[in-house]
């Protein structure tokens, strides 16, 4: 009985150490294609509406429904997919943070490119 007990304690310790060091995965979300599309859509939306102005004298404007539909189409999104993603972001703040990082990157790239 004693030998099997000594074998199981190191095994349990190994599993605990691997779990604590993250060898089983860190659990952080990975952005999928729809997340990337949403980030592109959202950065374009922010810039088109003036919320992320290229110049300080721009004021935010409400985009028409047709403008929003065109942005969704440009980024290969539809209203249902958009609603699902928004619900996911509300329930997964870590994923939302990664998406916002992508949005910031898109905006910086467009502003640097002079668009």
The per-residue pLDDT for 36 is 94
Tally the C-alpha atoms within 13 A of residue 40's C-alpha that lie toward its C-beta: 15
| Both structure tokens of 27 | 């659990």
pLDDT tens-digit series, residues 19-43: 444 444 456 788 999 999 999 999 9
Q: Which residues of 51-66 are buried (b: 16+ CB within 10 A; e: fewer)?
A: ebeeeeeeeeeeeeee
Burial environment of residue 68 by CB neighbours within 10 A (0 to 12, 13 to 18, 19 or more): middle
Q: Nearest-CA neighbor of 38 among 107, 73, 85, 98?
A: 85
Quote the pTM value.
0.68
The per-residue pLDDT for 12 is 53
pLDDT tens-digit series, residues 44-82: 999 888 776 556 666 677 889 999 999 999 999 999 999
């Amino acid at each position: 009985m004693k030998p099997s007990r000594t074998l199981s304690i190191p095994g349990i310790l190994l599993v605990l150490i691997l779990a604590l060091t993250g060898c089983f995965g860190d659990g952080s979300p990975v952005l999928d294609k729809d997340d990337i599309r949403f980030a592109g859509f959202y950065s374009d939306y922010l810039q088109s509406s003036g919320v992320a102005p290229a110049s300080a004298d721009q004021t935010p404007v409400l985009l028409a429904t047709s403008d929003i539909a065109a942005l969704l189409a440009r980024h290969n999104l539809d209203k249902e997919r958009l609603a699902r993603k928004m619900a996911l972001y509300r329930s997964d703040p870590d994923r939302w943070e990664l998406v916002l990082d992508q949005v910031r990157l898109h905006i910086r790239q467009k502003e640097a490119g002079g668009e």
